[in-house]
């Protein structure tokens, strides 16, 4: 089995009681409008590497589970602390490596993550959520930037949601499915190494995981929106899988 090191991006999400989700201790923000062309995350989480390289990201969705991309593989480091192993990795049964559709996987941790003001789960977008095109959301990661392939500090950037129609015009009518959501194309972008990391949007006062970094241009051209697995479309599978495991 191939093992991959993940950094779990949590936005330091914490509410009045640890364990609640969606209310950041420090709200996502950008200074100016500039991960490619992003900046250090306000919560300044360190990136961790195996043999000098970072591979994928993921989102802590409860104390026992991490959501990542199906095209990534397995072993997790949450925050800046001890190595946590994965006891179970479940890829969406309809994931296609050809079309990159349904590009999510769930990783069950060997022991529960200790929640702190810097490590707390992100809310999952409900299946009924409607994020309007143009809504400014945030993505974070430790992937390639405009200046380095190995940033030491978690990067973040604000990017607008792109409508499915516009995204299909850019990527092709058959390339964008209902299980995908697009964002970016406005000067910053997710890039290589950010796969599996979060796209979060504020909805009704709560920050929710709307997307998981999936694919885009190999050159990470910031004029093109990146493509994310659409959590609302995949929510029922996520809930069923966690409940039965």
Q: Residue 144's pLDDT is what? A: 58
Contact 121, 10 (CB under 8 A): yes
Q: Which of 59, 120, 190, 195 is catalytic?
A: 195
| Better-scored residue on pLDDT, 165 or 63 | 165
Residue 195 among the catalytic residues: yes
Domain spans of the chain, in order of start: 39-244
Q: Residue 18's pLDDT is what? A: 38
Q: In angstroms, rounded to a whole number, what is the distance separating the alpha carbons of residues 138 and 239?
A: 24
Q: In angstroms, rounded to a whole number, what is the distance separating the alpha carbons of residues 216 and 75?
A: 24
Q: Residue 232's pLDDT is what? A: 97
Q: Which of 7, 103, 194, 212 is catalytic?
A: 103
| Better-scored residue on pLDDT, 7 or 13 | 7
Between the two ends of the chain, the Cα-to-Cα distance in Å is 21
Residues 6+ apart with CB under 8 A from 125: 131, 201, 203, 208, 209, 210, 231, 232, 235
Least confident of 75-79, 201-205, 221-225: 75-79
Reported in sequence order, the residue ranges of 16-96 that DSSP labels E, i.e. its strands, are 39-40, 56-62, 65-68, 74-78, 86-91
Q: Residue 205's pLDDT is what? A: 78
pLDDT in tens, 170-190: 999 999 999 999 998 776 766
Among 22-26, 76-80, 113-117, 126-130, the range with the most confident prediction by mean pLDDT is 126-130
Q: Residue 228's pLDDT is what? A: 94
Q: Residue 223's pLDDT is what? A: 84
Q: Which of 71, 163, 175, 221 is catalytic?
A: 71
Residue 178 among the catalytic residues: no
How much is the average pLDDT of 144-157?
Answer: 59
| Better-scored residue on pLDDT, 229 or 139 | 229
Q: In angstroms, rounded to a whole number, what is the distance separating the alpha carbons of residues 153 and 93?
A: 34
In CATH terms, is domain 39-244 a member of 2.40.30.170?
A: no
Among 16-30, 60-74, 120-134, the range with the most confident prediction by mean pLDDT is 120-134
Q: Residue 143's pLDDT is what? A: 57
């Amino acid at each position: 089995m191939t093992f991959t090191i993940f950094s779990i991006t949590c936005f330091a999400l914490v509410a009045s009681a640890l364990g609640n989700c969606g209310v950041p201790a420090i709200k996502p923000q950008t200074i100016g409008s500039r991960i490619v062309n992003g900046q250090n995350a306000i919560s300044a989480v360190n990136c961790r590497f195996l043999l000098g390289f970072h591979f994928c990201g993921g989102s802590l969705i409860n104390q026992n589970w991490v959501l990542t991309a199906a095209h990534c593989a397995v072993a997790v480091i949450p925050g800046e602390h001890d190595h946590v192993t994965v006891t179970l990795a479940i890829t969406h049964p309809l994931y296609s490596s050809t079309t990159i559709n349904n590009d999510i996987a769930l990783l069950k941790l060997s022991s529960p993550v200790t929640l702190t003001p810097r490590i707390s789960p992100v809310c999952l977008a409900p299946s009924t959520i409607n994020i309007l095109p143009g809504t400014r959301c945030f993505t974070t990661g430790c992937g390639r930037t405009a200046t380095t392939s190995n940033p030491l500090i978690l990067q973040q950037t604000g990017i607008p949601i792109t409508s499915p129609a516009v995204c299909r015009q850019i990527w092709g009518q058959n390339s964008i499915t209902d299980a995908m959501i697009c964002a970016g194309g406005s000067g910053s972008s997710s890039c290589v190494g950010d796969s599996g990391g979060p796209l979060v949007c504020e909805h009704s006062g709560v920050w929710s995981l709307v997307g998981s970094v999936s694919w885009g241009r190999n050159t990470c051209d910031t004029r093109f929106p990146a493509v994310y697995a659409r959590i609302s479309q995949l929510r029922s599978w996520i809930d069923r899988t966690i409940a039965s495991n």
